[in-house]
Amino acid sequence: MYKMFIPNRKATHTLPQPISDHLNELASDNNYFKKLIDNAEADYIQNGVYPLSSDIYQSGLKIEVGESILIDLKEHPHNRIEPLPDEIIEKLKLRNTEFRLWMRPEVRSALIQLTENLPSNWGIYIFEAYRTPEDQKARFLKYRDRLIEEARAQNSPKTDEEIEKELEKLMCPVRDNITPPHTTGGAVELFPVDLNTKELIPMGFNFTDWTKTPPTHYKGEMLTDQEKKNRSILLQAATKAGFINYPGDCWQFNLGNNIWSAITGRSLVYGLLTEEQARKCLKHDDLTQTSENERSLSFT
């Protein structure tokens, strides 16, 4: 079982100011997680302001070497963790997109801990975990081109470069020296669900256009009070399980990857996996063996 951990050093990478100062302050504080949970009013995340640029993805570039392990959640189910149902995928208009539920075994363990921190009638639907670098690039370019087309139709004064920078706050680009979090197997996208009704817990997700979903700590009128409360419940449960939320996406949680490393100040654990590497390290048997990564992520 995962224990709450306290980062023992300040982050050494470069982040935009004043974000770096605030994260360093949190990372050096003995009440790190309490502040992370309670500081919803902190200036770098309040009022729906996207807190980070693509600089966060450059917190460390690690190419996997040696033995790595991925598991497919579909082969290792849990009574409170399920794949996102087909009808919701249809609603999202993502039928032609391949979603993999491949993840690090430590991520699955943390997801189980997350559910134990939730109300008893809550579970989680897993939307996606590992994503190949090729998939990441294709999706980024697809959304970039769509946003540029919309901007031109609206006679927006924004340049293509400005539009691309805005998209980078929602989706990681694929460039040299950048590791998209999903390519590590340490990022997971999820929705909380009412286990009794099988209805999604209201979180203010925009199913028509996910890019218009308010970020995690948004405090304005686009979210109801209940949606804000539900987001807080999920965030606290995930943080206590060791996850770090990317504040631009209320549904994305990270463990051991570059976002997790950037915000906690801890050493990077997971690196980029090509599709070939990912397929080779998929583990189809039991999960009783303790991996090197699990020892690195023991949070003690």
Q: Which of 29-38, 138-147, 279-288 has the lowest mean pLDDT?
A: 29-38
Residue 265 Cα to chain centre, angstroms = 17
Domain extent listing, the chain: 19-296
Instruction: Look at strands 81-83 and 122-128 and give their pairing.
Output: parallel
CATH annotation of 19-296: 3.30.1380.10
Instruction: Look at strands 187-194 and 102-103 and give their pairing.
Output: unpaired
**Residue 110, token pair as written in the block:** 């943390």
* Conformation bin of residue 47: beta by default, left when phi > 0, alpha when psi is -120 to 50: left
pLDDT tens, 63-112? Answer: 444 457 899 999 998 999 999 888 877 776 655 566 899 999 999 999 99
What is each CA distance from 124 to 172, 201, 259, 260, in whole angstroms? 24, 9, 22, 21
Residue whose entry in the numeric block shows the structure tokens 């999820």:
190
Q: How far is it, in rounded angstroms, from Cα 277 to Cα 6?
A: 32
Q: How far is it, in rounded angstroms, from Cα 48 to Cα 45?
A: 7
Q: How far is it, in rounded angstroms, from Cα 8 to Cα 152?
A: 48
What is each CA distance from 232 to 20, 39, 75, in whole angstroms? 23, 11, 30
Q: How far is it, in rounded angstroms, from Cα 57 to Cα 59?
A: 6
DSSP type of residue 200: B
- 103 has which bridge partners? 71
pLDDT tens, 234-271? Answer: 999 999 999 999 877 889 999 988 888 877 777 788 88
The percent of the chain in helix, strand and coil, each rounded to the nearest 5, is 40, 10, 50
Q: How far is it, in rounded angstroms, from Cα 90 to Cα 100?
A: 16
Against a cut of 0.85, is the pTM above it? Answer: no
Does residue 50 register a pLDDT over 60?
Answer: no
- Cβ neighbours of residue 227 closer than 8 Å, sequence gap 6 or more: 202, 203, 204
**Four-residue CA torsion sign, 239, 205, 225, 44:** positive
Position 294 scores a pLDDT of: 53
pLDDT tens, 280-296? Answer: 989 877 665 545 555 45
Does residue 279 register a pLDDT over 60?
Answer: yes
Position 267 scores a pLDDT of: 77
